[in-house]
Amino acid sequence: MKRIEFGELVIGDIARENLMHVCDTNWASGGPKVKQLEKEWSGIFGYKRSVAMSSGTDAVINACLALYDIAGAKRGDKVIVPALSFIATSNAVRAAGLTPTFVDVKKETLNINEEQIEEAITDRTVAIMPVHTMGRPAEMEAICDIANRHGLVVIEDACEAHGASYKDRFIGHWGDMSVYSFYIAHLVCCGEGGMVSVNDRPLADILASCRSHGRPFDSVYFDHQRVGYNSKMNDLEASIGLEAVSVFWDTFKTRHVTMKRMRAAAEGYEDVAYFSEEDEGNINCPHGFSITCKEAGKIKIVEETFDKYNIHHKRNFGCIPTQHRAFADMGHSLGDFPEAEWVGDNGIHIGCHQYLSEDDIQRIETTIKESLEGCR
């Protein structure tokens, strides 16, 4: 039985033509293909500018580095993040010389609990970074209201939320910056790559400086104005991404239909687990489909069933400050973030990528039903 992967990378004719063009011109690093990708990505969602990065993680790091300019941040200042997400979010905060402040999530949504954000704010807090986990938009209206009242920057971690919308407005148009990942299994894939999108042109210049060792935008001289890294995307990666951007909404529709079919397969098992849901007025990015069991230990039945049908699945990240040794030095203990810890122990997610065949989707539907029935 063929293994169904979480995601796949397929390089089509457009990408191959782009790649050959890059090879023929001998221009690999930060060339015209990168600029074209930045322009076309911005055009899809109406951003004023986008700045391409070498990965989604670098996109978050550089967004955090920009806080030294736009928020007057000092080393060690704090950025509020959810206790549950892919660890790159929190790693990036630290890599930028800042400190993550963790806030618990809601296990029903996997997103930061906006009702607990305000009590986590201190006089050293400079930003809030909600994560749109599994493509489901966080409660941006409430989060932005809190940020405005406290004078904080909002960075939307939309690495898994390409094309999602909250209250009929695209993700990325709520906060000051939005960051994206173009890794395999994401709607736009460059192999590796990322993007920071903004509606403030001077801020885009700062981000472009940060990704190039702190040089002024479009400068090649040794005039370093701020701390920065080499986070530039190259034209080879952009060549692959341009193909994905050219068919973005076709891909979105295909994946969204698949995600809806997975949710339909779980219909009637709401007493057993929480699932990826689409809230009224919102559109989720079809990044993946999550299952979080309501009874401890039942997730093993789900995992065993997916293994039986040879379907790739992943645990739901884990609680970063209490279930990952990388953040043990922050002094948190099990029980500090009960919802994130529950999701980490009792949740999985699977892919819903555009290369799934009809047979693949039917096998996944069968597996979802059988696994949930086994939990009763």
User: Is residue 336 situated within a structural domain?
Assistant: yes
Q: How many C-beta neighbours within 10 Å does residue 359 have?
A: 10
The domain tally of the chain equals: 2
Residues 242 and 335 placed together within one structural domain of the fold: no
- pTM of model > 0.75: yes
Residues 36 and 137 placed together within one structural domain of the fold: yes
Residues 262 and 274 placed together within one structural domain of the fold: yes
Residues 221 and 257 placed together within one structural domain of the fold: no
Residues 71 and 138 placed together within one structural domain of the fold: yes
Choosing from 195, 217, 246, the residue where a domain stops is 246
Q: Quote the CA–CA distance of 18 and 224 in Å, as a whole number.
A: 33
Residues 168 and 126 placed together within one structural domain of the fold: yes
User: Is residue 167 situated within a structural domain?
Assistant: yes
> In tens digits, what is the pLDDT along the chain, a chain of 376 residues?
899 999 998 899 989 998 898 888 877 777 899 999 999 999 999 999 999 999 999 999 999 999 999 999 999 999 999 999 999 999 999 999 999 999 999 999 999 999 999 999 999 999 999 999 999 999 999 999 999 999 999 999 999 999 999 999 999 999 999 999 999 889 999 999 999 999 999 999 999 999 999 988 777 778 899 999 999 999 999 999 999 999 999 999 999 999 999 999 999 999 999 999 999 999 999 999 999 999 999 999 999 999 999 999 999 999 999 999 999 999 999 999 999 999 999 999 999 999 999 999 999 999 999 999 999 9
User: Is residue 4 situated within a structural domain?
Assistant: no
Residues 30 and 72 placed together within one structural domain of the fold: yes
Domain CATH code at residue 232: 3.40.640.10
Dihedral sign for Cα 95, 98, 103, 109, please: negative
Residues 197 and 216 placed together within one structural domain of the fold: yes
Choosing from 219, 246, 273, the residue where a domain stops is 246
| Range(s) of the domain holding residue 104 | 13-246
Residues 177 and 99 placed together within one structural domain of the fold: yes
Q: Quote the CA–CA distance of 210 and 228 in Å, as a whole number.
A: 4
